[in-house]
A = this chain, B = another copy of it.
Amino acid sequence: MTKLVKPLILVTNDDGITSPGIRMLIKQMNILGDVVVVAPNSPQSGKSHAISISEPLRCDPIDIDTGPQIEYSCSGTPADCIKLAIHEILDRRPDIIVSGVNHGSNASVNVIYSGTMAAAIEGAMQGIPSIGFSILDYDWNTDFSFAEKYVSEITSKVIHQGLPNGVCLNVNIPKAKNKDYKGVRVCHQTIGKWEEDFDKRKDPFDKDYYWMSGEFKNQDDSKNCDIRTLENDFISIVPIQFDLTSHDSIEFLGEYFNK
């Protein structure tokens, strides 16, 4: 008789282990396999692919709810969590890594600043199928009820079929509007940028400091970019690669720089 082994699912995020987004994700993943959570003990938004080179890491078992998952609370970044989980905490390689659900959009260039997506990219770098999920709503009371089945279906497909080598998925989910989403579209990262605005203030000791804020400028008029997809109330999936080489530029730049 064949012993059935459930898929091992590693879960992390960047909003911290107690955020509603990861609790929803864990609940869905418990239906699909055996779940181990290694997630930051504090918010790590905007930490990108930072890793802890010169500080030690803490990673302690924790019980947050009564679900069957095993959980660890980690002092590091999302990328640290993946490295520590794979090489130290888990006794076998996970079949899939899921990160999120992030509170706030990781569409367009936000993918570059995102700790949620860094965890998924780190997973892909380790050769493990990986997905980052985000919902376009910062409210911790956001309505996940329409998102749940899509999170579950997308994850299930990846567990069973895998992903192309060197590719992970950046899944963004529109804010719920009391009805089902229109569907799912695989699309590309919207070309655009943040234009920052700095609020210069004086501290009580008359020294300057700055608060960074900014406005996103969409510079992409294509129909199949992730922001447009989300505006049309579809869930967007962007395949993300960690080979950052602009292969198209090598020959042209070679003629110019090689010596």
Residues of A with Cβ closer than 8 Å to B?
Answer: 43, 45-54, 56-60, 79-80, 83-84, 86-88, 109, 111-113, 118, 121, 125-127, 154, 157, 161, 163-164, 166-167, 169, 183-189, 191, 193-198, 200-201, 207-212, 214, 224, 237-250, 252-254, 256-259
State the CA gap A258–B183 with chains docked (Å): 7
Is there contact, CB below 8 Å, between A49 and B51? Answer: no
Secondary structure class of chain A's binding surface, majority of residues = mixed
Do A48 and B49 contact each other (CB < 8 Å), given the known contacts A186-B257, A209-B58?
Answer: yes
Alpha-carbon gap, A193 to B245, bound state (A) = 15
Chain B contacts for A258, CB-based, 8 A? 183-186
Q: Enumerate chain B residues within 8 angstroms of A56, measured Cβ to Cβ.
A: 201, 209-211
Q: How far is the CB of A256 from chain B (nearest CB, A)?
A: 7
Decide if B244 touches A111 in the complex (CB within 8 Å).
yes
Which residue of the partner chain, among B50, B51, B167, B194, contacts A212 with CB atoms under 8 Å?
A: B51
CB distance from A16 to the nearest CB of B (A): 12
A182 to chain B, nearest CB (A): 10
Which B residues lie within 8 Å of A113 (CB)? 49-51, 79
CB-defined A-B contacts under 8 Å, sample of 28: A43-B54, A46-B50, A46-B52, A46-B53, A49-B49, A49-B112, A50-B113, A51-B212, A57-B198, A57-B210, A59-B208, A60-B208, A83-B196, A88-B198, A112-B121, A112-B242, A125-B193, A161-B256, A164-B248, A166-B191, A183-B259, A184-B259, A185-B254, A187-B250, A189-B244, A191-B243, A237-B253, A238-B245
**CB proximity of A140 to chain B, nearest CB, Å:** 15
CA distance A197 to B183 in the complex (A): 42
CA distance A167 to B183 in the complex (A): 33
Pick the contact of A244: B51, B112, B161 (CB < 8 A): B112
Q: How far is the CA of A243 from the CA of B245 in the complex (A)?
A: 10
- The answer to whether B246 touches A212 (Cβ under 8 A) is no
Q: Is the CB of A246 within 8 A of B239?
A: yes
A164 contact set on B, CB distance < 8 A: 246, 248-249, 252-253
Asked if residues A167 and B259 are in contact (CB atoms below 8 Å), the reply is no
